[in-house]
Amino acid sequence: MDKLLTVTVDGEVLKFPFVWLRDNCLCEQCFHPTAKSRVYWSDLHLKIKPKEITEGKDSIQVTWEDGHKSNFEYNWLKIRNFTPESQRKYDEVIYKPTKITWHGEEFNDICSKHDYNQIVKTDEALYNWLYKLSVYGVAIVKNTPNSENAIDAIIDRVAFIKRSHYGVKFVVQHISNTNNLAYLSNNLQMHTDLPYYEYGPGINILHCFVQTVSKGGENLLVDGHYIAKYIKKNHPEEYKLLTEVDIEWNDMGTEDGREFFKLYRAPIITLDKYGEVQRINFSVPQRSSHFLTPIENIEPWYRAYSLFLQLCHKFAGKFKSEQGDILVFDNIRLIHSRNGYVDNENNVRKLIGAYIDWDEIYCKLRCLTMKLGYNKGFN
Ligand code: OGA
Ligand code: ZN
Ligand code: ZN
């Protein structure tokens, strides 16, 4: 107990380890005020103790054994409280909004619509769009100007594009001698984009510049976290295979005269150290025939894969974007596909695509949370 500072803030008893307090001293010698970063690091005594503690009106002053003084505001301490409830609140308000999983039948309810001009003009609309995107993994932008560069303005509101070997932006349109099956008007099977990247893009942005007037051209979108939960509960053996057996994802070809040969290995469901889904890797077309797993895994794995693919269709929502829509979705959570369509001379389907990273989305959300005062005391 003698290693903890006990302080009562707003009637609540809070406890903080002395070593942590000394490590997080906010004086200018220890913490750079404009870089907002720790400069002090050397000779941290693990058994450090205060010589004197003085409780003021808004803050508490600690004088350490060596005479160094630290001052901590009560509110600063309160939002760093070590209790699980307090830490959960910080997670939700500042770290990352909690995801809500969904079944395809709920797609129309969870898929929010946002106005392009509002996003460009107001922080509230920008926040709302990114918040819904982070919670549900999909959020559509409507009323986009009819320009091939229209996505630039909203991406600029967030951060910047994540480039790939398909370019800074890419055009999804039928090309017969294509280097990617997405650039054919055929059915495009279930996939996440670029699973063959170790640092895969987090968000997929698809601006519908011209939609087909023919049948088809719809997208199926499914929540990979919903599928993972379902398989974990109902098919534990298949879940083990889907989370443990490495698959080689690949992409080979040439774009703009430059060759590419991408390989990345990961299971279909990547888990984090808490056993939560971190990333879904899936692509019918971009799965390599090199399968570097013991031969006895093959058949059981195909059974698990087949179940996963079946559920992709069963739990998917369907959406046909209209000209001026931007379909924005979580590329490491949702799996998507597109129904085949037929171009004609007067109507050539055309989408403009780009990617952004989740790091940038969460960063923008936090900045806006602070700016708009949505931080509920977490200053
Ligand atoms: C893609 C893709 C969807 C579409 O290009 O990867 O998923 O609607 N396109 O064409
Ligand atoms: Zn200090
Ligand atoms: Zn895609």
Tokens of 237: 């053996």
Asked, for residue 358, whether it belongs to a domain, the answer is yes
Asked, for residue 217, whether it belongs to a domain, the answer is yes
Residue nearest to atom 3 of ligand 1 (CA): 338
- Pick from 183, 351, 352, 355 the residue to mutate for probing ligand 1's pocket: most ligand atoms within 8 Å of its CB: 351
If one counts every other C-beta atom within 10 angstroms of the C-beta of residue 67, the result is 8
Q: What is the C-alpha to C-alpha distance for residues 269 and 276, in angstroms, rounded to an integer?
A: 10
Sign of CA dihedral 96, 102, 104, 109: negative
Domain containing residue 75: CATH number: 3.30.2020.30
| Residue 344 shares a structural domain with residue 288 | yes
Residue 256: partners with Cβ closer than 8 Å, 6 or more residues away: 167
Residue ending a domain, choose from 35, 52, 82? 82
Q: What integer pLDDT is reported at residue 1 of this predicted model?
A: 47
Q: State which residues form the domain around 216.
A: 104-370
DSSP conformation class of 281: -
CA of 317 to the centre of ligand 3 (A): 15
DSSP H stretches of helix in 245-374: 298-314, 358-371
Residue ending a domain, choose from 52, 82, 112? 82
Full pLDDT tens readout for the chain, 379 residues: 479 999 999 999 999 999 999 999 999 999 999 999 999 867 788 899 999 999 999 999 999 999 999 999 999 999 999 999 999 999 999 999 999 999 999 999 999 999 999 999 999 999 999 999 999 999 999 999 999 999 999 999 999 999 999 999 999 999 998 999 999 999 999 999 999 999 999 999 999 999 999 999 999 999 999 999 999 999 999 999 999 999 999 999 999 999 999 999 999 999 999 999 999 999 999 999 999 999 999 999 999 999 999 999 999 999 999 999 999 999 999 999 999 999 999 999 999 999 999 999 999 999 999 999 999 889 8
CA of 303 to the centre of ligand 3 (A): 24
Atom index in ligand 1 nearest the CA of residue 327 equals 8
| Residue 108 shares a structural domain with residue 183 | yes
Atom index in ligand 1 nearest the CA of residue 219 equals 8
| Residue 133 shares a structural domain with residue 184 | yes
Q: What integer pLDDT is reported at residue 175 of this predicted model?
A: 92
* CB contact burial 125-148 (16+ within 10 A = b; e otherwise): bbbbbbbbbbbbbbbbbeebeeee
The ligand with the least distance to the CA atom of 352 is 1
Q: What integer pLDDT is reported at residue 40 of this predicted model?
A: 83
Q: What is the C-alpha to C-alpha distance for residues 7 and 18, in angstroms, rounded to an integer?
A: 12
Chain-centre distance of CA 127, in angstroms?
15
Atom index in ligand 1 nearest the CA of residue 172 equals 5
Q: What integer pLDDT is reported at residue 44 of this predicted model?
A: 80
| Residue 160 shares a structural domain with residue 54 | no
Asked, for residue 99, whether it belongs to a domain, the answer is no
Domain containing residue 344: CATH number: 3.60.130.10
Residue nearest to atom 7 of ligand 1 (CA): 337
The structural domain count of the chain equals: 2
Residue ending a domain, choose from 15, 48, 82? 82
Q: Of 347, 231, 235, 323, give the one whose Cα is nearest residue 282.
A: 231
Asked, for residue 337, whether it belongs to a domain, the answer is yes
DSSP H stretches of helix in the chain: 18-23, 74-78, 84-90, 107-110, 116-121, 123-136, 150-158, 224-234, 236-244, 298-314, 358-371
Enter the pTM of the model. Answer: 0.96
Residue nearest to atom 5 of ligand 1 (CA): 182
| Residue 270 shares a structural domain with residue 340 | yes
Asked, for residue 195, whether it belongs to a domain, the answer is yes
